[in-house]
Chains A and B, each alone.
Chain A
Amino acid sequence: MTAIANILDRLDGWVNPIIVKELRQIVRGKFFWGVLILFLGFQCVVLSLSLADQQTRYSNAGQETLMFLYGVLFLASFAIIPIYSGFRFSRERNEGSDELLFITTITPQTIIRGKFAAAFIIILLINSAFAPFMSMTFFLSGVDLWATFILIGLGLFVSAAGAMFQICIGSLSREGGSMYLFRGAGLLFQVITFFSLLGMSSEMIRYGLDRTFNSGYLFSSLATFVVFMSLLIYMLYHAAAAVVAPAGTNRMLPVRVASTILWLVTLLLCAYWAGISASSEIFVVWGFLSSYVLSMACLIAVSERDYVTERVAREIPKGFFRARVAFLFFSGAAGGLAWILVMQILTFVIALVAAGLQPSGFTHGRGMMNDYMLYAGSFYCYMLGYALLASFIRRIFLSEQIDIRNTWVVALLTCAVFSLVPILAGGIIGLDSETLLIANPLYVTAVRRSDSVLLFAALLAIISLIVNTPWLSRQFRDYYKEMDY
């Protein structure tokens, strides 16, 4: 065997089998060729017309042409290919053909990596096919070459994130109603994001990079963007792998680790930008966003398994401290809720310290913290309360009909019922009071009656915690029983 054959053989053994399978299937399909030929033809026609028009040489029509070509490229690479990849994965999940992979030596992570890499290769292929056409716009007037390159680079990053998002949505869409719900929501999100990003891109082409980033810190802004997008992809990757992983595995561990890393790195990015802007306000914004995301995670936590499986038990680390910390990160409803609580407290403390450091003075800082407590605090209490209440309702009344993994649906329905029924009842009996809206988590954004909202949300969370105490403490006990001292 020659050296080259040897290397090729090694490469063949090294390459992810999912990539090989996906590329074979995609390239065989009419869809891919249809999109490629149609869009290339489109680019060719538009560019020819622009170049043929002599007037373009004396105006800014180069920008217009570039924007148009970029729009077509971005449609293919951010919208069509990611949605197609997610749809294919969703169909495989629906047919159950991915299950056979779990009796091979392949891991859920390998599957997601393979799906993502295949989608990204197709995106790269489309970008490289379109790039020559786009570079031709340089012969027209008004085109900033650097802006074009950076735009394409950023577009690639965003498209990669879009592909991973759609793969994540595809992993969720297993069967029946949820499949259509998730697919629909994913599609809607991708389309809305597409138009928003297209708007930003046209701004970059029209006004150049400096004005778009508006800071004078172009490379810092780009680096922040790249780091954030990479972490988002990393987070979505683990989330998709967790959904795909067999139920008995410790599948939430990588998700919680990735979420903690995302939390920590965004915190560091905030510290960097706070240093540059000499204002700690960004920490409070970060605190708000983190807290909202963590609050929503309560719905996921209560939908997790509520017992320790054999596969999870054998992964519990030895040692008093490590075993207890592992409880927060390992799969399990109680562990998930505990992890969220710890993260919420840390976020709150950091935001509190940051608000105190605000140079504009203590009063301003205290105002920010009041808002933080009211909005983020009450939202956490609402989500925790509804999530736990839903868990209680499902266990006591609906354990036969609804699986634990669908507790989040019960939580959303409970929230909807609590939010709507008082208003409807009030309408029937002719009572018109703002207080009827108090069970709605979004009520707080509409009024300034902070005390009553916070009090109601806290009461809801406390009552839900009390009725779920036996369930939660049973999970703590089960875990500690499995610990090896």
Chain B
Amino acid sequence: MILSVKNLSKNFGDTHAVKRLNFQLNGGDITGFVGPNGAGKTTTLRMMASIEEPSAGSIELDGHSIVSHPEMAREKIGFVPDTLPTQDDMTVFEYIDFFARAYAIKPARRRGLVHDLMEFTNLINIREKLLSALSKGMKQRVSIARALIHDPSFILMDEPAAGLDPRARIELRELLRVLSRQGKGILISSHILSELSEICTSTLIIEQGAMLKFGSIEEITEAEVSHRRLIIRPVGSLEEFSNFMILLPGVENLVVNGKSVEFDFAGNDEDAFALLKEIVAADRKIIEFRFRQQNLESVFMNITRGEVQ
């Protein structure tokens, strides 16, 4: 199953909240949705969940428009908004049971389903607790359980990790992995980029409503970084080694960092191998030779400017 977004735009008066977004989600993919505050992430997710109507463009599920047929989205898409459940005077069971009823799930199936889902999301021991008595992490679990009640093919999550403690975040990550293994496509917006890098198979970066990058994290980081940073740890005098290195081709912006030297290297893996050979041939002793790991955070900082509309 494919959920594709084509030329999606949303205007609020003269403000262009979302501008011609194009991307697609496949079943089993976990796609990170990244952008500064006010970039249009929530508006995009709300349009995909059929809460908001686009100003232009389309959202299609296997080629069928969910803009003109939102009932299709309701059956196949689960949405976890950035707000937590507010019905404080309902118990966990009542809340999930209510949404199961709202999705018109038959009573016989509903009872088992609610129970299984509470077990899956680790809510079974607190089923009779009022929502008002739950922690943020637990409420987030309830929200996820609600979004999963109708067994959707795609799950849209708006900042699900915001405000969660480390344990709750790890548990959320594990939950997402399990859902991905079940073949569900997940689009997750988050500001915690290090966590997204760990679980996402692809990333969509937007700013001021426009798409900046879309692809796998490796593709994006490699395409974005023209100069990779190389770290070498020599044995012996750092100053002497630095003087040697600075004369070699492709080495720029060399700095001493602790017991290592670090520099931009303008070359591919073959060139790096040639450099290593040259160092060894010159009888220099080294015990570490590696590229600095490029991560989503550095890519994000490089390509966004933090501007809001």
Contact residues of A with B, CB < 8 Å?
9, 12-13, 17, 20-21, 24-25, 28-29, 92, 95-97, 99-106, 246-248, 309-311, 313-314, 399-400, 403
Question: CB < 8 Å: which of A13, A105, A399 contacts B102?
Answer: A105
In the complex, the answer to whether B51 meets A103 with C-beta atoms within 8 Å is yes
In the complex, the answer to whether A104 meets B74 with C-beta atoms within 8 Å is yes
Give residues of chain B (62-112) contacting chain A, Cβ–Cβ below 8 Å.
65, 67-68, 70-71, 73-75, 77, 79, 81, 83, 85-87, 89-90, 94, 98-99, 101-104, 106-108
Collect the chain A residues with CB atoms within 8 Å of residue B81's CB. Answer: 99-100
Collect the chain A residues with CB atoms within 8 Å of residue B49's CB. Answer: 103
Collect the chain A residues with CB atoms within 8 Å of residue B13's CB. Answer: 399-400, 403
In the complex, the answer to whether A20 meets B98 with C-beta atoms within 8 Å is yes
Q: Taking CB as reference atom, which chain A residue is nearest B14?
A: A400
Give min CB distance, A319 to chain B, whole Å.
Answer: 21
Question: CB < 8 Å: which of B65, B103, B107 contacts A104?
Answer: B103
Q: Taking CB as reference atom, which chain A residue is nearest B97?
A: A20
In the complex, the answer to whether A103 meets B68 with C-beta atoms within 8 Å is no
In the complex, the answer to whether B68 meets A314 with C-beta atoms within 8 Å is yes
Say yes or no for B50: interface residue by CB 8 A criterion.
yes
Give min CB distance, B11 to chain A, whole Å.
Answer: 11
Give residues of chain B (95-141) contacting chain A, Cβ–Cβ below 8 Å.
98-99, 101-104, 106-108
Give min CB distance, A314 to chain B, whole Å.
Answer: 5
Question: CB < 8 Å: which of A17, A95, A309, A403 contacts B86?
Answer: A95
Collect the chain B residues with CB atoms within 8 Å of residue A102's CB. Answer: 50-51
Give min CB distance, B63 to chain A, whole Å.
Answer: 16
Q: Taking CB as reference atom, which chain B residue is nearest A305?
A: B53
In the complex, the answer to whether A105 meets B104 with C-beta atoms within 8 Å is yes
In the complex, the answer to whether B77 meets A103 with C-beta atoms within 8 Å is yes
Q: Taking CB as reference atom, which chain A residue is nearest B105?
A: A13
By the criterion of a CB under 8 Å from any partner CB, how many residues of chain B are at the interface? Answer: 35
Q: Taking CB as reference atom, which chain B residue is nearest A8?
A: B107
Given contacts A9-B108, A103-B79, A400-B13, contact A21 B74 (CB under 8 A): no
In the complex, the answer to whether B103 meets A105 with C-beta atoms within 8 Å is yes
In the complex, the answer to whether A310 meets B68 with C-beta atoms within 8 Å is yes
Collect the chain B residues with CB atoms within 8 Å of residue A95's CB. Answer: 83, 86
Given contacts A9-B108, A20-B98, A400-B14, contact A28 B89 (CB under 8 A): yes
Q: Taking CB as reference atom, which chain A residue is nearest B80?
A: A100
Question: CB < 8 Å: which of B50, B51, B107 contacts A12?
Answer: B107
In the complex, the answer to whether B102 meets A101 with C-beta atoms within 8 Å is yes
Collect the chain A residues with CB atoms within 8 Å of residue B233's CB. Answer: none
Task: Pick 11 A–B contacts, CB within 8 A, sort by A.
Answer: A20-B98, A21-B90, A21-B94, A24-B94, A97-B86, A103-B74, A105-B75, A246-B51, A309-B53, A310-B65, A399-B13
Extra 16 A-B pairs, beta carbons < 8 Å, given A17-B98, A24-B94, A100-B81:
A9-B107, A13-B107, A20-B101, A21-B98, A25-B90, A97-B87, A101-B102, A103-B49, A103-B50, A104-B102, A105-B103, A310-B67, A314-B68, A399-B13, A400-B14, A403-B13
CA distance A100 to B80 in the complex (A): 9
In the complex, the answer to whether B68 meets A399 with C-beta atoms within 8 Å is no
A-B residue pairs, 7 tightest by C-beta: A17-B101, A248-B53, A104-B102, A310-B68, A12-B107, A95-B86, A106-B102
Collect the chain B residues with CB atoms within 8 Å of residue A313's CB. Answer: 68
